[in-house]
Amino acid sequence: MNYFIQKLPKAELHLHIEGTLEPELMFALAQRNGVNLKYDNVEALRSAYNFNNLQDFLDLYYAGAAVLLHERDFYDLTMAYLKRVHQDGVVHVELFFDPQTHTERGVKMEAVVKGIHHALEDGQKWLDISYVLIPSFLRHLSEAEALVTWEQLQEFIPLFGAIGLDSSEKGNPPTKFDHVFSKVRESGLKVVAHAGEEGPSAYVWEAIELLKVDRIDHGNRCVEDVELMAEIHRSDLALTMCPLSNLSLKVVSDLSEHPLLELMERGIRVTINSDDPAYFGGYLSENYMQLSNALNLTKEQIIQLARNSFDASFITEKVRESYHKKIDAFIEEYSS
């Protein structure tokens, strides 16, 4: 089953590129850029990856991002991720990055966007991994700051497929960003937002009704609201769920309690993703494998989750059809 999962063609739709910064690369970039880390070595840094909640993780996440200063750094970070997930059967990625994490440190927007984008272009050319690039606003900052970032992103808009909302959810409801996302929608870009991870199911309602999201990131707390689940099903909104992230951040105490299967059985299009794999102990296939073991998923359910990943993606129908054919071809080859 693990071999089947690893080689099965699939897409990753919820991935923060800053969250793929492995300790080895973090130390290499720190040395290259003359940045002092408060950890003596890779082992000491890895031992810090023990979080009680989302904020514990974010504190380390933002500290680690300090080594990312130049276009080459963002290129190296992104290419390392693409090479890694190429081994996991990933053929399409929809990749988040946090512009404000970098611009507030004085890093130029151009360096961030171009470094990531050039790596994605090379990944498509060399590894045959297609992509959608998604900048995200940090919800612990103000909407005024998000509007400034929106203006800074304007020259790069043709490179993006959507705009997202992430970071600390508690106390930062989607309503806080209603105005900036109205501008995003006017531009023709799609909208995604983290909701219902640590925040309540009410935040998912706000993301749907006020931000008019095209997809919900996480959405765990949907199971607390039957009407909400019915609305998500009716609207054919997908959820990009992240099992090992949820386990690491104590959103669930055990993967056997993860709501993915219940949501799936209600007809909601759920997907499996890795979120911040360098910090949460597993890339995409590992998330599939561990959740499959915990929930006793069947091979048919695993195949459906892979199909969901393409159906929930922001690709054209022609490309989507080609990826479904890849799944069909793999299943036929595997079964022979």
Domain layout of the chain by residue ranges: 2-335
Q: Distance (Å, rounded) from C-alpha 292 to C-alpha 127?
A: 27
Helix (H) or strand (E) holding 192: strand 190-195
Q: Hey, CA dihedral for 48, 51, 55, 61, is it positive or negative?
A: positive
- Res 48: pLDDT: 82
Q: Are 293 and 272 in contact (CB under 8 A)?
A: no
- Res 134: pLDDT: 98
Q: Tens of pLDDT along 228-237?
A: 999 999 999 9
Overall average pLDDT of the 96-125 stretch: 97
- Known catalytic residues are 197
R_g (Cα) of the chain, nearest Å: 19
| Mean pLDDT for all residues in the chain | 96
Q: How many CB atoms neighbour CB 103 within 10 A?
A: 17
- Res 46: pLDDT: 85
- Considering the four listed CATH numbers 3.40.50.150, 3.20.20.140, 3.30.70.520, 3.40.50.460, the one that applies to the domain covering 2-335 is 3.20.20.140
pLDDT at 336 over 80: no
- Res 102: pLDDT: 97
- Res 250: pLDDT: 93
Tokens 């966007």 locate to 113
| Percent share of the chain, pLDDT over 70 | 100
- Res 145: pLDDT: 98
Overall average pLDDT of the 173-191 stretch: 98
Q: Distance (Å, rounded) from C-alpha 18 to C-alpha 24?
A: 14
111: nearest Cα among 145, 71, 73: 71
Q: Tens of pLDDT along 2-33?
A: 999 999 999 999 999 999 999 999 999 999 99
pLDDT at 49 over 90: no
Banded model confidence at residue 181, pLDDT cuts 50, 70, 90: very high
Banded model confidence at residue 74, pLDDT cuts 50, 70, 90: very high
pLDDT at 39 over 80: yes
